[in-house]
Structure formats: structure tokens, C-alpha cells
A and B are shown apart, each in its own frame.
Chain A
Amino acid sequence: MSNSQKRRQPVYLDNHATTPTDPRVIEAMQPYFSEKFGNPHSGSHYYGWEAEEAVELARAQIAGAIGASPEEVYFTSGATEANNIALKGVTRFYREKKNHIITCVSEHPCVLDSALDLESEGTRVTYLPVGEDGLIDIDELKEAFTEDTLLVSIMTVQNEIGTVQSMAEIGALCHEHKAYLHTDAAQALGKIPLDVRAMNIDLMSITGHKVYGPMGLGALYIGNKPKVRLTPLFSGGGQEKGIRPGTLPAPICVGFGKACELAVDEMPIESKKLEIMRDGLLAKLQGAIPNIYINGGMEHRVPGNLNISVENVDAESLMAALPDLAFSTGSACSSVSQDSSYVLNAIGLSNELAESSLRIGLGRFTTEEDVDYAADRLIEEISIIRENRQVLAGTAA
């Protein structure tokens, strides 16, 4: 009997797509679904105040995780919305004065599509390339600035290859050129220390469900010093100071807040643990399988991320052969489309190697046993696929 038949629950190795909700987060949320159910905007009664108080505590916990003040944190429905608001909102507000933005080719689709929307509205957009390591070239950024540059949007941590950009340096350059810096930090929160002031960040998008919090809620940090202004995407009841109207989901806010608190507390130990496990997994794979390539540099990378290409192995086939492992071949949002990863293409991979790539995301609840099992199974199935390929090649010849 093979290992795979002994295990029933697949090993979850896709913590970049979403993280399991921490039981402590669920516990914190629970009362706000039932006895403390109020609308946080009902200013006229106890239930409303109770919910509001919980929402404000959550806001403070979130602010605490990124070094912001609570009043600089605006709830959104997620990182996609936060990124849409940041790019479109700031550009639409200031475009009469300045109308050039700079971003990068390996950003999340919600940043790139927002940039496209803005281009169709007449904004000039510069898309910086990235190197093999996944990082932008600071000199190229310097050259991209013009008098007209309003906003730079560079993600802190890349969602497929886990590379960490030098935000503080990028931010300092932006401010030198009188441009705002926005960053999509959805994959960074809880994985590396974040401090909006030290990192010179004016706007930051984050989300709950990548940090062991619930889905359906994110936040946009909008700095007060200097005050960044923007045109909201929605209109409505005036919630979140009009930046993002709509009834706030109090239980989800509570969950996001708690998740941030836990992330700050546990990051030092957790990131060390993840790094050791990730490096162990990589060493094991490299020891057993020839011709594995690491995508993106290892030096500036979040600890739980591994992205590798396995030469001569089609990643889709490998996934199909491994129903007992939950990993991905690219990001979840684009996994419906059959195209190979534009991120991997951007760091110079051929289509063939990009289609042989696996993204493995270890997380808080990944155990040593999970990693050992995953390594064994990957080695097993990769060897089978390669052997079959050789046999087929032999028959053909």
C-alpha cells in the first residue's frame, strides 16, 4: 500500500492562495455572529456600539501590525478592492496635476488591470521589468520618474515566487521625486515585519485570508503624513469616512484584527520554523531529483515560499498525480486560465519551464511530517513521470 492511500486529508501546501483560519481567530469571531451581532454603524443603541467597539479594536490591531495609526486604516472587502481603490482612487483624484504612474510587470492582476483601466482613461503607465531574482532594478526606477509621476505601486512580496522588494529604498526614492508609494502587501503581512513609516509607504493593501484570518475583508492603509487623498470607487452611507462605504462586517473585522495580533506575536518563531522546513524540503528535493531550478532569488524571499521548475515534468500532470498534496502551479486567481505564469515569464523562464513550475506555500499549520510526506511523494511522482517520458521517447525512437 502506498503512502497516498494511508492519508485521507491532503497536505495543504498552498498558503499563498489562502490560509486556514486560525482556531483562535474563529473563537474571537464567534460571539459577533450571534449575541453581539449589531450593525457597527447603528449609532443609536447598545448592539451598534458593541459592534463598533469591536471593529475599532480590530482596526487598532491591524494598524499595530503595520506601524500605522488606527485612523489611517480603512476596511475594504479584500486586497483586490484595496489595490483598485489605491491605484484608481489616487490617480483619479490627482490626475489634473500629475498623470503618470509606475508599477512593475510582476504585480498581481488586480494592480495590472487597474493600471490598464487608468491607461484607458489617459494615464501614462510605466511597467518596470524584474530581474531573474524577481526584483526591480532601482536604477531603472530612478530613470522612470518624471515631473508628472504621481504614484508608484510595487508589491512588497510577490505572490508566486515570494520575493521581497526593498520597499524602504523604493519609498525614499518616491518621496525624493514627490511621488506616493503604494504597495500590495497582501503576501507580506505576517511573514516579514512591516512598518509603513520606516518603509516610506504611503498606501498599503493587506487582506485577512492570507494571514490566518477570514476571507472577505482587507484593508487599505492611507497615510496621514503626508495626507494622501483619493476618489472612492463606491458611494453610499459614508462609512470608512466615505473612502469605502458599505456596512462593515463586524465579526470579520474582529477576525482580521485577531489574526494581525497573532501574526505579530508569532512571526519571529514562525518565520524561523518555516524557513527551516522550506530549506529542508528544497534540499531533499534537490538531493533526489536532478535538474530542478529555483524560480526567483533565495536571498530576498519570504520563508514559507518555494517556487521551482522541474525540467521535463508538466506541472499540471504532476498535480493530477498528487491529489494528496494541495499545491499550485501559479496563483489561484489565474489558475482557471491555461496560460503559463506571466510572473515566471517576467523573470526570464521559457514557457516550458514555466509550465513545469510548482508553487509551494508552507504555513503556520504545516508540520514536519507534512513536509516529509510531501517531499517523498513529490520525488516519487516526479520520478515516475520522468521515467514514463523516457520510455515514451525510447519507443518513439
Chain B
Amino acid sequence: MKQTVYFDHNATTPVRAEVADAMAGALVLGGNASSVHGAGRRARQLVEEAREIIAELVGASLAQIVFTSGGTEANNLVLRGTECDHILVSAVEHNSVLDAADNIEIVPVNGNGVIDLTALTSRLSEIDGQVLISVMLANNETGVIEPIAEIVRIAKEHGALVHTDAIQALGKVNVDWGDLGVDFISLSAHKIGGPQGVGAIVINEEIPLKSILRGGGQERSRRAGTENVPGIVGFGAAAKLIAGELDQISKTQDLRDRMEASIKAKCSDAVIFGESIDRLPNTSCVSMPGVTSETQVMKFDLEDYMVSAGSACSSGKVQASHVLKAMGVDEETASTAIRISLGFGNNSNDVDAFVSQWGKIYARANPDQLMGAA
């Protein structure tokens, strides 16, 4: 049987072998990191080692890292916990940002999905009170990178705070506290080869943050609950791996570019969203004219290629992506888009075979359109 090819790394990544080993060690070791005895102190040490690796990866200090149960909680904690009067977010944010509070206002994006900085600036000038701006570093569906540095510059002029959801960006592009200049960053382990169920926020310690989960005072009272020791250890182990691999990301980009060029060669009408601008090196959101996303996903699945129609969280629902809609993509084109997200373990054979399959599905649906057929 043919090996399955996993092209859905933006949904989740396989846990790397080194990560699974580190976690198994922590699982066997046991111990509650808040216990005072030896077993507790060993667990505490593991948690703090992981915190150090993650802090170093993003250029922050230890005290800035607050572990959470994942990206969704991380985003909710920042958006709710800062208790700002107004929250401005881009129209292409993840649902965990879009729906996090009642006082959220959407700032439109352009055709590439990049936030409209003029609209942001003018809204900032109109409103009073403390504002939090939350814009993702890179979009999970298209991979499009948002101009965080510009947003921070504008925010500072208006005294606004900035949060960036860097969950999809981590490990794929530089995520650095100092370079970004934001006040909060959300991270998640399972998008970087770590386990599901653990994430973190990087905080500006000077900004008050009201916790959502109250209880035992863990994470300096910012996030109560017994520390998920094996999960945190796994996050640390994954962070350590990606810290050493950032320079290899260009190989993933070569694969992605090769795939997109081959698809374009087969069908010049295929739309690659955000093609001409800064994107994550692993992500491709591509339409196949005449074939709905659902059909493509099914057909690829039959051939053992794992891709998705939009993000995983919403893939149970049959509705057009809010991201593409916000970009002004017409419904027909949006309904034929799939997301291909590459990652660790993918190679050029996988990509070439996938493109060949793409061509077959496209040709069957568009018998007259195949390029080179004439």
C-alpha cells in the first residue's frame, strides 16, 4: 500500500520522535510541579527548562512565558484578560480571536488578506479609551503574513496595545519578542511538532492581565490549574528542535514553490491566494476551477493525500471560509479552494505525485481546459 502523504501541517503536526521520547520520560517520572518534595521539584525543573527553551526561542525572559492549554486559551486569555475598552482585530483572524469578546471590532483586509492600515489608523483616531489590537502574524488558511511592525508603530502613536497570534508562524518565520515589539504573543505546541493540549502566551509583564481560570495560583496566578508537565516538556522539546531548524525552512519553501509552479503549469486559471506577497513558506491555498473543495479533499483522501478545505476547526462545517470571504474572493472561487500545508517529512516525490494527482482531478472535471491538450 502506498504511504499516506500528510499535507495538513497547519491543522496539526505529527509529534516528532524526540518530543515523544521527552514526554514519555516526563510521564514516567510523574510529579506535580507545585509539590514541595523531590518528585515535585523534579517536575518543576522540567517545566522551567521548557520555559527557558521557549523564552530563548522567542527572545523573551522566563517570567514572560505563561503556559496555557493551547492556542485557543492563549488568545482568549489575552483578549479577555487585558480588559480593554475596544478590541480591533483583522477580518481574517482565527475564530478564537474573532469571537473572544463582545467589544470586538473588525478591521477589513485587502484582496490579499492583509489588514487595511488606513482603516486601522482612522478607527484608532476615532475611538477613546484603551484599545487592544489583535492581528495574527501569519494566517492559518493562506499563510499570508501581516505587517506587525507597521501595526505596532501605528498602535504606539495611539497608545494602543498589540497582541499577535503567532501560532501558525512559529517555526516557519522569525518570531522574536524584540523584533515584533508587541505586548502579547500566542503560541501553540502542536503546530511545531509538539503535543496537542499545550500553548503559551508571551506577555509584557507591565500590563495587567486578569486570569480567566482562577484557582491554585500556578503560572504566577495568571493561569490556574496543575501544570501539564509532560505537555510542557513536549512543547520545550519541539521548540528546541525548531530552533535548530529555522534555516532549513527554505527547503520547505522550495517544495511549496515547486508545487505551485507545477499546478500553474497545468492550469493557469488556478488561483493561489496571496501568491504575490509575503507568505509562510509551507502554506498554499489553491483553487481548482470547477471542483469544489469538499470533492477535492475526498478525492485526494482516496489517493492518501491529506489536505484540508479551510482550517481544521471549521472543517466539520460546510461553509465558505471567512478568510477568503473577507478577502473579497467570489463565492465560486472560494468554494474550490483547498489548503496544502507542508512540513517535516514531506519531500519532492510527495509534491510531484500530488501535483500529478491534482492534474488528473482537474482534467476529469475540465476535459476541455487541460493545458497542452490542444
Contact = CB atoms under 8 A, between A and B. Distances in A.
B226 A18 contact: yes
Interface stretch (B176-184, B192-200, B262-270): B192-200
B215 A47 contact: no
23 contacts: A17-B34, A18-B30, A33-B20, A38-B12, A42-B306, A44-B308, A45-B306, A45-B308, A48-B312, A81-B225, A83-B215, A108-B216, A113-B214, A114-B215, A236-B96, A237-B94, A237-B314, A238-B313, A245-B95, A249-B195, A251-B195, A252-B196, A333-B218
Nearest to A116: B214
Interface stretch (B21-29, B284-292, B363-371): B21-29
Interface stretch (B145-153, B227-235, B326-334): B227-235
Nearest to B195: A249
Contacts of A42: 8, 11-12, 306, 308, 312, 315
A337 B75 CA distance: 29
Contacts of B31: 18
Interface string A92-120: 00000000000000001111011011000
Contacts, number: 276
Contacts of A37: 12-15
Interface residues of B, number: 77
A106 B17 CA distance: 43
By size class, the interface of chain A is: 35 or more
Interface of B: 4, 6, 8, 11-15, 17, 19-20, 23-24, 27-28, 30-32, 34-40, 68-73, 75-76, 94-96, 98-100, 188, 190, 195-198, 212-218, 224-231, 294, 297-298, 300-301, 304, 306-309, 311-317
Interface string A323-361: 101111101111111000000000000000000000000
A10 B15 contact: no
A12 interface: yes
A287 B178 CA distance: 63
Contact of B72 (A12, A79, A80, A236): A236
A250 B197 CA distance: 9
A214 B227 CA distance: 11
A113 B231 contact: no
Given A113-B224, A214-B230, A249-B197, A77 B39 contact: no
A-B pairs, top 8 by smallest CB distance, nearest first, are A333-B216, A237-B313, A110-B215, A216-B228, A249-B197, A77-B69, A113-B214, A236-B96
A297 interface: no
Contacts of A336: 34, 217
Nearest to A19: B30
Given A43-B312, A79-B226, 16 more contacts: A10-B38, A41-B315, A44-B309, A45-B306, A77-B228, A84-B215, A109-B216, A109-B217, A110-B214, A116-B214, A236-B96, A246-B73, A247-B71, A252-B195, A326-B37, A333-B217
